[in-house]
């Protein structure tokens, strides 16, 4: 049944053409065959994916970073996040970004799943974690990375996220999933 539906919706690649190869993204313009047999252009952004992490202090505060986002020309409040390095395990990347950006190491990690950020346009998949049992051992920012670290009480962050105050997809999903999983009693630390 599931297979039948997939076949009936499936688009087959007829041609694959790289129009840009960059440091962070590649862009293709493919020709795809639609379920009705017709051909259509498909613009595809290839992205290595990333991670984000909702890190909770012993005082029930979430760690945020405030940074300038060049494409939109704005400073956003976001959870710590970063791109996956080639072949890097997502949880390792999340722990690495948490340490680099906020100086925190965590005793416990929680798997909050992942999202496609915009599946009609990009291959980007973003893995989401939570963490607690934090110890602070000092930020390790990249040479060209500029950000401020802030703490926001969890209840305030959940309310702000529900109201649409952050405007950042990964931040909202991580906070709302973390809160929902806690309330439902779904949250279990990852066992190593």
Residues 50-109 that bind its own copies (CB under 8 A): 66-72, 74-76, 78
CA distances from 181 to 43, 77, 167, 187 (A): 36, 23, 21, 5
With beta carbons less than 8 A apart as the criterion, state whether 178 and 86 touch: no
From 14, 16, 17, 27, residue interacting with its own copies (rule: CB under 8 A) = 27
Question: Residues 119-138: x/- map of binding to its own copies (CB under 8 A)?
Answer: xxxxxxxx-x----------
CB of 84 to its own copies, least distance (A): 13
Considering only the C-alpha atoms of the chain, give the largest distance between any 2 of them, rounded to a whole number of Å.
Answer: 59
159 binds its own copies (CB under 8 A): yes
CB of 135 to its own copies, least distance (A): 27
Q: At what angle do helices 154-162 and 169-184 cross, to 10 degrees?
A: 120
Q: Which two tokens stand for residue 93?
A: 């990347």
Active-site residues, by number, are: 143
From 57, 91, 103, 114, residue interacting with its own copies (rule: CB under 8 A) = 114
191 binds its own copies (CB under 8 A): no
Length of the chain: 192
From 146, 185, 191, 192, residue interacting with its own copies (rule: CB under 8 A) = 146
Stretch that binds its own copies, among 54-62, 101-109, 133-141, 175-183 (CB under 8 A): 175-183
Buried b (16+ CB within 10 A) or exposed e, 95-127: bbbbbebbbbebeebbbbebbebeeeebbbbbb
Nearer to its own copies, 68 or 136 (CB): 68
């Amino acid at each position: 049944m599931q297979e039948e539906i997939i076949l009936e919706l499936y688009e087959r690649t007829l041609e694959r053409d790289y129009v840009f190869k960059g440091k962070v993204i590649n862009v293709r313009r493919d020709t795809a065959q639609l379920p009705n047999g017709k051909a259509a252009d498909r613009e595809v952004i290839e992205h290595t994916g990333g991670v984000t992490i909702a890190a909770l202090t012993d005082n029930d505060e979430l760690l945020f970073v405030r940074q300038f986002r060049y494409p939109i020309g704005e400073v956003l409040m976001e959870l710590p996040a970063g791109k996956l390095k080639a072949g890097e395990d997502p949880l390792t990347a999340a722990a690495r970004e948490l340490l680099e950006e906020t100086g925190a190491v965590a005793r416990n990690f929680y798997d909050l799943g992942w999202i496609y950020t915009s599946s009609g346009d990009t291959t980007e998949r973003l893995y989401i974690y939570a963490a607690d049992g934090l110890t602070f051992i000092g930020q390790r920012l990249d040479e060209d990375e500029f950000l401020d670290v802030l703490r926001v009480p969890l209840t305030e962050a959940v309310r702000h996220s529900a109201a649409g105050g952050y405007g950042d997809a990964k931040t909202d999903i991580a906070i709302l999933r973390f809160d929902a999983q806690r309330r439902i009693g779904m949250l279990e630390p990852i066992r190593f």
